[in-house]
């Protein structure tokens, strides 16, 4: 993190083992909503907002605000 900060998506189980900063999102729920959108054959699918959170670990350095 001194030279480059790295982040991932989904907060996979191994992220913690590697100290990877990630965006946690409800992957299972996202899949369920997507499946229902497909199954419903809707021409105008509903807009869905899912909760996310930033999980900071050792792969990112603190922000340097100037």
**For the whole model, what pTM was predicted?**
0.70
Please report, for residues 15, 45, 51, 57, 66, the alpha-carbon distance to residue 48 in angstroms, rounded to integers and kept in the order given. 26, 9, 10, 28, 36
Sequential pLDDT tens for the chain (66 residues)? 678 889 999 898 899 999 999 999 999 999 999 898 888 877 777 788 999 999 999 999 887 777
């Amino acid at each position: 993190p001194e030279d480059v900060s790295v982040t991932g998506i989904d907060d996979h189980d191994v992220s913690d083992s590697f100290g990877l900063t990630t965006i946690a999102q409800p992957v299972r729920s996202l899949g369920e909503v997507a499946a229902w959108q497909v199954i419903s054959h809707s021409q105008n699918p509903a807009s869905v907002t899912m909760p996310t959170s930033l999980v900071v670990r050792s792969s990112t350095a603190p922000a340097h605000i100037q």
